[in-house]
Amino acid sequence: MVVSMDALRVEARHAPGDILQLWKRNMLAYRRQPDLLVFSTIQPVMFVLLFAYVFGGAIQTGPVDYIDFLLPGILAQSVLFGSTQTGVGLAVDVTSGMIDRYRTLPMARSAVVAGRILADTTRNVFVVGLMLGVGFLIGFRYHGTVAGAIAMPFVAVLFGQTFCWISAAIGTSVRRAETAQVASFVWLFPLVFVSSVFVPVETMPDWLKVVAENSPVTHTVNAMRGLALGTDFWEPLVKALAWMAGIMAVFVPLAVWRYRSIQ
Amino acid sequence: MEQGLNGSSPIVVVRDVHKSFGDVHALAGVSLEIDAGTVLGLLGPNGAGKTTLVRVLTTLLDPDEGSATVAGFDVRRERTRVRPLIGLAGQSAAIDDTLTGRENLEMVANLYHMGRATAASRAAELLARFDLTEAADRAARTYSGGMRRRLDLAASLVADPEVLFLDEPTTGLDPQARLELWTVIRELVATGTTVLLTTQYLEEADQLADEIVVIDHGRIIAQGTAADLKARSGGEHLSVRVSDLTALDQVREVLEAEGDGPPTVEEATGTVSVAVSNGPARLAGVVRRLDEAEVAIADIGLRQPTLDEVFLSLTGHRAESDPAEAPTGAV
What is the per-residue pLDDT for B322? Answer: 40
Query: B15: exposed, middle or buried (C-beta count within 10 Å: 0-12, 13-18, 19+)?
Result: middle
Q: Which among A88, A85, A219 is positioned nearest to A156, based on CA atoms? A: A219
Chain A: nearest CA to B183, how far in angstroms? 24
Cβ-Cβ contacts under 8 Å, B19 against chain A: none
Q: Letter for the amino acid at A143?
A: H
Please name the residue of chain B whose CA is at the shortest distance from the CA of residue A261.
B61
Q: Is A100 an 8 Å CB contact of chain B?
A: yes
Q: Tell me which of B58, B79, B81, B166 to substitute to probe the interface with A (most A C-beta atoms closer than 10 Å).
A: B79
What is the per-residue pLDDT for B176? Answer: 87
Q: How far apart are CA A217 and CA A240, in angstroms?
A: 8
By Cβ distance, the residue of A25, A107, A263 closest to B99 is A25
Break chain B into its structural domains and give their ranges. 10-230, 236-304
What is the per-residue pLDDT for A212? Answer: 92
Reported as half-sphere exposure (CB side, CA atoms, 13 A), residue A11 has a value of: 10
What is the per-residue pLDDT for A71? Answer: 94
Q: Which domain holds residue A53?
A: 5-260
Cα A40–Cα A42–Cα A46 angle in degrees, nearest 5: 120
Note the pLDDT tens digit of each residue in B45-71: 888 899 999 999 999 999 999 999 999
Note the pLDDT tens digit of each residue in B237-268: 888 998 888 888 888 888 888 887 778 788 88
Q: What average pLDDT is seen over chain A?
A: 90
Note the pLDDT tens digit of each residue in A51-83: 888 888 788 888 888 899 999 999 999 999 999
Task: Tell me the percentage of chain B whose pLDDT exceeds 90.
Answer: 45
Whether residues A97 and B96 touch (CB distance < 8 A) is answered with: no
Cβ-Cβ contacts under 8 Å, A14 against chain B: 113
Based on DSSP, count helices (H) and strands (E) in chain A, helices before strands.
10, 0
Task: Tell me the percentage of chain B whose pLDDT exceeds 70.
Answer: 89
Domain B10-230 in CATH 3.30.300.30: no
Higher-pLDDT residue of A57 and A239 is A239
| pLDDT greater than 50 at residue B282 | yes
Q: Return the H-helix or E-strand segment holding B239.
A: strand B236-241
Whether residues A17 and B61 touch (CB distance < 8 A) is answered with: no
| pLDDT greater than 90 at residue A3 | no
Q: Is B78 an 8 Å CB contact of chain A?
A: yes
Give me the DSSP letters along B83-108: GGGEEEE-SS----TTSBHHHHHHHH
What is the per-residue pLDDT for B317? Answer: 63
What is the per-residue pLDDT for B279? Answer: 79
What is the per-residue pLDDT for B306? Answer: 66
Whether residues B112 and A96 touch (CB distance < 8 A) is answered with: no
Cβ-Cβ contacts under 8 Å, B52 against chain A: none
What is the per-residue pLDDT for A263? Answer: 66
Cβ-Cβ contacts under 8 Å, A96 against chain B: 92, 94, 97
Whether residues B108 and A101 touch (CB distance < 8 A) is answered with: yes
Q: What is the pTM of this model?
A: 0.81
Higher-pLDDT residue of B42 and B330 is B42
Higher-pLDDT residue of B39 and A3 is B39
By Cβ distance, the residue of A17, A98, A111 closest to B94 is A98
Cβ-Cβ contacts under 8 Å, B92 against chain A: 96-97
Q: How many domains does chain A fold into?
A: 1
| CB neighbour list of residue B37: distance below 8 Å, 6 or more residues apart | B8, B192, B193, B194
By Cβ distance, the residue of B78, B88, B108 closest to A6 is B78
| pLDDT greater than 60 at residue B234 | yes
> What does the DSSP 8-state code read for residue A201?
G
Q: How far apart are CA B207 and CA B41, in angstroms?
A: 10
For B236-304, the fitting CATH number among 3.30.70.100, 3.40.50.300, 3.10.20.310, 3.40.50.360 is: 3.30.70.100
Note the pLDDT tens digit of each residue in B4-46: 444 568 999 999 999 999 888 999 999 999 999 999 999 988 8
What is the per-residue pLDDT for B88? Answer: 93
Give me the DSSP letters along A131-168: HHHHHHHTT----S-HHHHHHHHHHHHHHHHHHHHHHH
Q: What average pLDDT is seen over chain B?
A: 86
